[in-house]
Amino acid sequence: MDVAHSDPRLVAAYERGNDLPAASLRAWAELISSQLTEVRRLLEVGAGTGIFCAALAEQMPQAEIVGVDPSELMLAEAARHHAHPRVRYRPGAADALPLTDGSCDAALLSRVVHHLPDRVAAARELARVLRPGGRLVIRTTVRERLDSPVYRYWPELLAHDARRFPAEAELLADFTGDGRFEVTRVFSFAQPIARDLAELRDRYALRAESKFGALSEAEFAAGLARLDGEVPVGAAHGEVLERYDVVVLERAAGPA
């Protein structure tokens, strides 16, 4: 596991700094579930504080959700904020999942691929636990389309993230290279993350994303000041959107 999600300060701030407006979370849950077929058990790998586990449980009343994360601190927050009768949170990492072969109908990797030390090992492990025909949804931003609003205020984070996030071709190659997965779709989806720039400012001020760890105190303060400068005029612009790339893969028939 990377160190970020075992940092008590980041973990304590994570829930408030990453939660989505209710309508945005619902839209994401609808979109993800619309890519899946016959889901009795869905696995979220890198479930964090469980924001998506609970939303997907609400969206799919027939499904059991298993949220796996290597950070005990994140899982404790998940149990606190997003407990749900059909969600189970379990410790584990993407390359050693605590699930039996073919026991999942679907899986989600949301904002996780850039944290994985070995994406090919994770792909192999996800193929092992998914049934043939089961789908994997990857929610990320690929290197060539890094466009989070965060870069407007902290432009130095763009270079930092370009070193961490895979390009689309690399990501697809890691998951399809040995024939375990086939690509179903790659597309974009954007939803509001804040009502206005003032709300965005409050969200970023929590420093609840691991990328902020790359900034000095002075760099962080300078970016926040840039954002503060836009808040008075930004109210007129309304909601702030964040776009993600969505990759849908299908577990091919054949041996894991």
Ligand X SMILES: C[S@@+](CC[C@H](N)C(=O)[O-])C[C@H]1O[C@@H](n2cnc3c(N)ncnc32)[C@H](O)[C@@H]1O
Binding residues (CB under 6 A) for ligand X: these are 1-2, 5, 18, 45-48, 51-52, 69-71, 74, 93-94, 110-112, 115-116
Nearer to ligand X, 47 or 87 (CB): 47
Calpha distance 228→13 (Å, rounded): 20
Q: Residue 202 Cβ, how far from ligand X at the closest point, in Å?
A: 18
Nearer to ligand X, 83 or 225 (CB): 83
* Cα–Cα–Cα angle for 250, 125, 190, rounded to 5 degrees: 50
Q: Residue 50 Cβ, how far from ligand X at the closest point, in Å?
A: 8
Largest Cα separation within the chain, whole Å, is 58
Calpha distance 219→228 (Å, rounded): 14
Nearer to ligand X, 81 or 152 (CB): 81
Q: Is 213 exposed, middle or buried (0-12, 13-18, 19+ CB in 10 A)?
A: middle
Q: Residue 236 Cβ, how far from ligand X at the closest point, in Å?
A: 30
Residue nearest to ligand X (CB): 48
Nearer to ligand X, 80 or 237 (CB): 80
Q: In 3D, which of 23, 35, 38, 99 has the Cα closest to residue 66?
A: 99
